Structures are given as structure tokens and as C-alpha cells.
Structure 1
Amino acid sequence: MDALRGFAILGIFIANLASFSFYNGNAKVVSPYMVDGWDYTMRFLHYMFIEGKFYSIFSLLFGWGIALQFKRGVAKGIDAFPIVRRRLFIMLLLGALHLLIWVGDIVFFYALLGFMMLPLRKLSNKTLLITGVLLILSPIALYGLKMNFPILNFPAEKLFETQRHIDTLFYDKMNQEKFMTVMHEGSWLDQLKLNIAAFFSRFGYLFYVSRISKVLGMFLIGYVIGRSDFYKNLQEHKRAVYAIIALGLIVGLTFNYFLASYMSSDKSGEYYGLQRSGWYLTIFYALGVVPLALSYVGLMMLGFQTKPGKRLLLVVAPVGKMAFTNYITHSLIGNFVFLGAGLDMMGQVGPVYFTLFGITVFIFQIIFSTIWLKFFQYGPIEWFWRSLTYKKKQPFRIIQNTTPSA
């Protein structure tokens, strides 16, 4: 799980760098960090192989992790429900703080959906799997319904309207030009104000793209994997893993090619205008993203069964063990490098260079996390989260055995 989580953290960071950097392929920007042609190709590859896949893996791992917490409770003869609920509540608070730093946070959102998942956990594995698949496919029907009944988009529109209202409280007559001026020239306090307002637009976006059902569906599938011990009996389930990989690659790559072609053509206006082509995008996303994400997981499961694969994957495992700390670090780095209050590289770095930047940061995180975990049991944020969850200061340092051998 740590290896998978580490792998997912890299993909999420690279995907988020498109937002951190404010890259706009249509803008005519002269910069040494823009590479004509290659940037377009790299962005296409992002859409095809990264877009949505890694938060899907993270969602799967989230449900998987909650299942393991309940199983540990059963093994210890205790009711894990209060602990899990408290863990989600602390996660919610930490996510709220992170939203003030990076509006693209997923922690707050995951904690909310975690509470939604808890009542469903007692359903059978079969029911959870069917429900999960239906939830993942449901955006296709939801988008079609919104095309015909726009009132269904009221929650998203109300949240967008609230964001605009708060913006005008902080800055008179906020528009796109003024927004970009604040992003380039504003202080960290200005960024905080924008993030407070953007909290509402963030959740308006999540409502609009039906992210709730997608993520909750992956939670349920992950919960089944964790509860059923599927991952512990890969020899027994090898045929199923091969089928998941094959189906994921065939179906996933096909629809992700369509997804990448659509997103590269810059038709976002049609999607947000509830036009028929936007419905096609929803189909490409629903049938492409999750199958390919599951094939990634299957490939890593099989790779972990081999000595070279296990050795390679264990290299990234420390990053996954400190996933929360590393995820927050990405936000701090992204803000410092790209925002005007920092190095002000916003809009000057294209996909080729910000991908290389993301990989470089990840390599440093592998080194740092590996060294850190030689001396400490958890990452700093993980330790804080765990201590609050159990309402008791948790052991932090690893006590080295200095007793001389006989």
C-alpha cells in the first residue's frame, strides 16, 4: 500500500502542477521553460496517462485503508468505529487548513466522503462492488440529466456565485484581469483571501463534474479489496488480476485516447455549457480513467511479487508512508515556485519542464522520506494526525538499540 501510495503521490503532483503553474497552451508566452510542440505532446500524454488516474488510485487506497482499520479493531476485540470517525474528523480539520494553502486540496473532500461511506460498510462485498461501479458510471447519466434539466446544476451554480460574492468583499469589482494581477503581485495574505473565496468554487467544480460519485465509488471498491484480503491471495486471484489489467489497458487506453484528444482541443467551454460534446467527454472519462487506474494497480501488484519489482517499488514506499506530509509539501513548493509572492514563475513553465520539476521534487522526497523514517516512525503530519486520533501522544522517534552484542 505504501508503494502504491507513493506512486500515486507522484502522479497527483504532476497533475496538480498544471494548476500550480497556470499553464495555458493558448497563451503566447516567451519563456525558456516553454517548448513549442513538445509541450503540446507532453500535455496530451498527461491527459492520456495521468489525468484522473492517480487520484482514483488514491481513492481506492483510502477505502482500502479504512477496511484495514476496521479489521484491526476486530482482531484486537475493540470497536474501531469511534476511532475511524475521529480519524476522519481530524482529517477534515487538517484538510480545511490545507485549503487555505492550496485550493485544489483533496483531504477535506475525502474526509467528507469518508463519513458518507461509513454507513455503507456493512453491505456485502458484491453489493459494494456493484454500487461502486454504478457510482463511477453515474456521471454519464447525471450530465445527460443536467443537459435537459439545468436546475440540477443549482448546487454548483450557487457555490460559484458565493465565490464571486466573497471575492467582491475582499476586492471590488473582481474580474479575470484583476485576479491575475493579484496572483502575480499580491502578498501571501492576498493569496489566503483568494483561497477562502475559492473554497466555494472548488466545491462548485466538484459538484459540476460529479466527482462525489466517482470518488465514493472508488472508496467502495477499495474497501472490498481491503476487507476481502484480495491483495494477500494474489496467487489465488491471479486470473482476475490479469483480466483487470487486460480490460483496463484495452478499454482504458482506447477511451483515454479519446479523452486526451478532446481535452487537448480546448473544448472546455462546450463541457461547461452542457453541450452534447461535453457529454461525450463524460463518457470518455468514466470508461477510460478508472479502468486504466485499476490496470496500474494490477501491474504493481504483480510487479511486487517479483524480486526486481519489489525492490523497485520499495524505493518509493517511504514517500507513501509519509503521503500526507509529502502531499502538503507539494502545496508549499508549488505556491513558492509559481505564485507572485514567491518566485513568480506562474504562466512561464510548460508541461515538459514542470513534469521534470515534479520528478525532481519526487526524487528528493524519496531521499528525504527514506532518511526520515530511519529515525522516526511516522512523518510529522502523520504523527500529529495519529496522536489526535488516539487522543494520546504517539511514539515518534525510533529508539536505536545501542546494547553491545555478547
Structure 2
Amino acid sequence: MTRSHRSSPADTPPNTHLTPLSKAEADPSPVVPDPPAAPEPPSASPARTAPLLPTQAGERYMILDSLRGFAILGIALANYPELSLYRFLPEEAAAALPVSGWDHALNFIVHSLIDGKFYTIFSLLFGIGFSIILQNTTRKGGRVLPLFMRRMLLLALMGLLHLTFIWSGDILLLYALMGMLLPFFRKLPDRVLLSSALALLLLPVGIDAACEYAGLHPAAFFVQLQQQACAHSGITPDNFATWLRDADSYAGIFDFLIQGAAVRAQEFIDGNRYFKVLGLFLLGFLIGRHRLYARLGEHRRALRRLTLIGGSVGLLLSPLFAWSSMNGRPWGIAAHSLIYTLSVYPLAFAYVGLICLAYLRHGSAAPFRLLAAPGRMALTNYLTQSLIGVLLYYGIGLGLGASLPLVGVELIALLIFIAQIILSSLWLSAFRYGPLEWIWRILTYGRYFPCRR
């Protein structure tokens, strides 16, 4: 069973089988906004018997919230072409949709400027978040490993439920599994940590080259598993794009999600996602270890260089990455992997640098406050985006899947994000945490925290 080249995920090799939804990345750790010149957290260590508490408002920074909010926008724009089933349409069906010419141009832009970039940003933020947990837990006299592992186990559970029952494109489970490795890197010196991060980010190119040369397919088991699930449920290339739209009961959707989970595992393996995610986690942890987010003004020149160099390289090579993604990687998997590395990471880092520079000049401006609200509720908003997509595009909801042009799909994604800005702002005016963030905190720390302000 073959999926068309136009719909194959941007950061995984082409497959000769049905491929479900992918692309989502999120660091769900909620962040509470604070003035740009927030003070350093107190260095005094309380008694070891003091109860551990989540990070409080005075220990948070609006720049992290705003970056998360920015990434939530990117997640919606990256995910909805697949949640809407547009990416699964055959070429002929996509060409028959209204404004198909605009769709082709927009698809190229999405591949160039969005795909892969926002999961990179979220992964960096996840690593920064771990450094904050480590610093706060150590300062308060707590044990880091049990607390963080409990947090990751809960995240893994949420990811597993999301993957199995809502959408096959979950990223939370992979984040949790890779996150469990982070504590074992926490005592490494900076140079070793940086070298490890860079090695992990470059390793996929070597792995892809070796597998391509040797004709290996490491994820063949999951390919067979997915094919068996499709055969059992009656999913074929002819009905793949419309299966979820035509499903009139949740049982049909669940059948699709089962095969989708197998392909998601295959995508992680063939796409070397675990190396990429862990490498970005370590890079984020190194940034957080030195609290660079709290001292942006000291690094203005470095941020300018990051933005200029990353933006120049990324914008130059991203069209090449988009063309390769949309045309079935004509130069091979290894070449595409190299283009990915040289285009996605630099452009994502340039996005971060540009936002940080803008924050230094206009940190109290409305756009940062607006982005911070959904960023503080990143877990809730990420999962809500999936749920809304199901209700919009699947047969158990409005059944709009595989029928809207990409322009309409991305417009809907943008409107959903605007609604999330409004609803997140209203919610946080009355409550301290997002609903899922609140539950996550209670279960992580094993004690009740009041949510209402």
C-alpha cells in the first residue's frame, strides 16, 4: 500500500505502506508569565523537610511562555493538514479541490517554514524545563529523580491515551520516554553535554546513509504490524484518505488508530526521532543550566548572530527541503536527512533568536502577553487541538475531512489558535493553571494545590 509522495511526513523516509498522521511536538510544561526583568530565584536552601512545590509565578519568565505559545501556533499549522486528512488525499483528489493552485503554493510554504521547526522549539523548551525542575528541586532540598520520573510516567500515560484513542500523531509519549533519560545527563560538564547533543543531532544522517547503503529497514516489524491491522479492519489504499471521515462510529476510528499507532512507531524509528529529540533536550538543558533565558540582554550579540546565520542558512536550504519532501526524496533518504539537519535546525534556532530579540525591545507588548497565555496551558491546548480536529474532520463529528482545501484547513487552524489565546487568557484570569496542567501537578507532587486564584 503506497501513500503519495506529496503526503509523506517531512522528517521521515518515504514508506511503501499506509502512513497515518504525524508531526506534533509539545513541551506541555505550563509556564506562568512574569515581567521581563524578573529577579533571580532566592539561593537560600530551605530545610529538607520543606514540602516540594511547583515553580511559582515569581520564578517563571514570560519569554518561555511566549515561545511555547508561538510553538502552539506552529503545532496547529503543522498538524491540521494531517488531522484534516488533506495530506492523505491522492494527487487527483487534491487537484480537484477549490483553489488547488493556492494549496500547492501553501503546501510548499508549510514544508519550508513550519514542518519540523516547531517540534524543535518545543524540544528545546522541554530541556529548559527540566533544568528549571532540577534547580528548584535541588534548591528546595528535594530528590530530583523520583519527582521527575513520576512526572514523565504521567506524561507517558497521557501520550499513550492520546495516541490510542484520539490521534495517531502524538508526540507526548516519545517526549516522556526520552525525558526519562535526561536525569542521567544532569551531572555532565558543559563540553560533554554540548558534544553529546550535537552528536545526537548529527547521528541520524549517518544512520540513514548506512541503512540506505545496506538496504536495511529497521522498522520493518512495525510496517508488517500495520499492514496486518489494515487487512483485519479492511483499510485499503482506496479508502485510506476517507476512512476516518466516513466512520459513523468510534469503533471504526479506533480500528484506524490501531494501525496508526504501529506506523507512528515506524516513523519514530525510520525518522530517528529519538536521537533528534534527546539531542534537543540536552541542548535545552544546557541553555537552562546557565539560565540564558533570564539573561537575554547579556547575549544580545549572540542572539543576533544566531538569527542572522540560522535564518540565512535555514531560509536558503528550506525550499530544497520542501521540494525533496514533496517529491519523494529524489536524492535518497540520506541526502534528505542531511538537508533536514542543515535547514530545519538553523531556521528553528533563528525563530527563537528573533523572538528573544523582539522580547528584549518590546517584552511588555501585547503580542508577548497574548502568546504567553496559551503557552502557560500548552498541554491542555495541544490535546484540545487534537480533540477539536477529530470533531471537525472525522465522521463522528462534522465529517469535513478530506474535503477542504489546504487554505481552508490552515485558516481553521489559525482561528482555533486565536480562540485558544482568548480562552486561555480568560481561564488564567480566574485560575492559576490550565485544567490538565493542574491535574498533572497534583499527581506529580502527590498533594493538592488550589487552582482558583
Using structure 2 for the length normalisation, give the TM-score: 0.81
- Verify the 8 A CA contact 1:7 1:316 in the aligned structure 2: yes
Report the Cα distance in structure 2 between the residues aligned to 1:213 and 1:148, rounded to whole angstroms.
20
Corresponding residue number in structure 1 for 2:42:
none
Determine if contact 2:194/2:282 at 8 Å carries over to the other structure.
Answer: yes
Look up the match of 2:107: 43
Match of 1:102 in 2: 167
SS of the counterpart of 1:378?
coil
Distance 1:228 1:148 in 2: 41
Please give the alpha-carbon distance, in whole angstroms, between the structure 1 residues aligned to 2:320 and 2:373. 35
- The letter of the residue matching 1:10 is L
Matches within 5 A, 1:199-214: 199-214=261-276
| Aligned mate of 2:359, from 294, 304, 314 | 304
Partner SS state of residue 142, structure 2: coil
Q: Distance in 2 between matches of 1:167 and 1:259?
A: 31
Structure 1 segments (4+ residues) deviating >4 Å:
none
Taking the aligned partners of 1:181 and 1:260, their CA distance within structure 2 comes to 25
1:192 paired to 2:254 = yes
Residue 233 of structure 1: aligned partner: 295
Q: Could you tell me how far 1:121 is from its partner in structure 2?
A: 2.0
Which residues in structure 2 correspond to 1:22-37 (within 5 Å)? 22-23=85-86, 24=89, 26-29=91-94, 34-37=98-101
Distance 1:288 1:387, change over 3 A: same
Q: Supply the AA of the counterpart residue of 1:335.
A: V
Residue in 1 that maps onto 2:11? none
Aligned to 1:93: 157
Distance 1:59 1:27 in 2: 36
Name the structure 1 match of 2:450: 395
- The whole-number CA distance in structure 2 between the counterparts of 1:353 and 1:25 is 18
8 A contact 1:322–1:382 mirrored in 2? yes
Q: Per the alignment, in what secondary structure is the counterpart of residue 396 of structure 2?
A: coil
Deviates more, 1:128-137 or 1:369-378: 128-137
For structure 2, the 5+ residue unaligned runs are: 1-63
- Does structure 1 residue 125 correspond to structure 2 residue 190? yes
Asked if the contact 1:25–1:40 (Cα under 8 Å) also holds between the matched residues in 2, the reply is no
Aligned-partner residue type, residue 4 of structure 1: L
Q: Does 1:62 align with 2:126?
A: yes
1:136 alignment partner in structure 2 = 201
Distance 1:117 1:34, change over 3 A: farther
Asked if 1 retains the 8 angstrom alpha-carbon contact of 2:307 and 2:353, the reply is: yes
Q: Are residues 302 and 185 of structure 1, via their aligned partners in 2, closer, same or farther at CA, if it must alter by over 3 Å? A: same
Q: Deviations over 1:335-391 (max 9, x none)?
A: 111112222211222222111111111111100000000111111111111111111
Distance 2:95 2:121 in 1: 36
Q: What is the Cα-based RMSD across aligned positions, in Å? A: 1.8
Verify the 8 A CA contact 2:154 2:440 in the aligned structure 1: yes
* Aligned counterpart for 1:17 among listed residues 80, 83, 89: 80
How many pairs align? 386
Give the partner amino acid of 2:403.
Answer: Q
CA distance in 2, matches of 1:348, 1:128: 47
In structure 1, which of residues 163, 167, 187 is the aligned counterpart of residue 226 of structure 2?
Answer: 163
User: Which deviations, in whole Å up to 9, do the C-alpha atoms of 1:218-272 show, x marking residues without a partner?
Assistant: 11110011111112222222222112111111111111121112223x225x5xx
8 Å Cα contact 1:137-1:287 kept in structure 2: no
**More displaced, 107-116 or 298-307?**
298-307
255-264 or 137-146, which deviates more: 255-264
Instruction: Work out which of the residue numbers 205, 224, 243 in structure 1 matches 2:286.
Output: 224
Matched, 1:267 2:331: no
> Structure 2: which amino acid aligns with 1:383?
W
Tell me which amino acid in the other structure corresponds to 2:179: G
**What is the identity, as a one-letter code, of the residue corresponding to 2:190?**
N
**Is 1:303–1:310's contact at 8 Å kept on the other side of the alignment?**
no
Do residues 291 (structure 1) and 352 (structure 2) align? no
Equivalent residue number for residue 432 of structure 2: 377
CA contact (8 A) 2:297 2:360 kept: no
2:434 partner letter: G
Matched position secondary structure for 1:176: coil
Look up the match of 2:18: none
Letter in 2 for 1:96: L
Structure 2 residue corresponding to 1:318, chosen from 373, 382, 395:
373
Q: Secondary structure at the match of 1:177?
A: coil
Kindly state the Cα deviation for residue 178 of structure 1 after the two structures are TM-superposed: 4.3
Name the residue aligned to 2:37: none
Deviations along 1:64-111, one digit per CA (max 9) or x if unpaired, are 101100000122122222111100000000111111201101111100
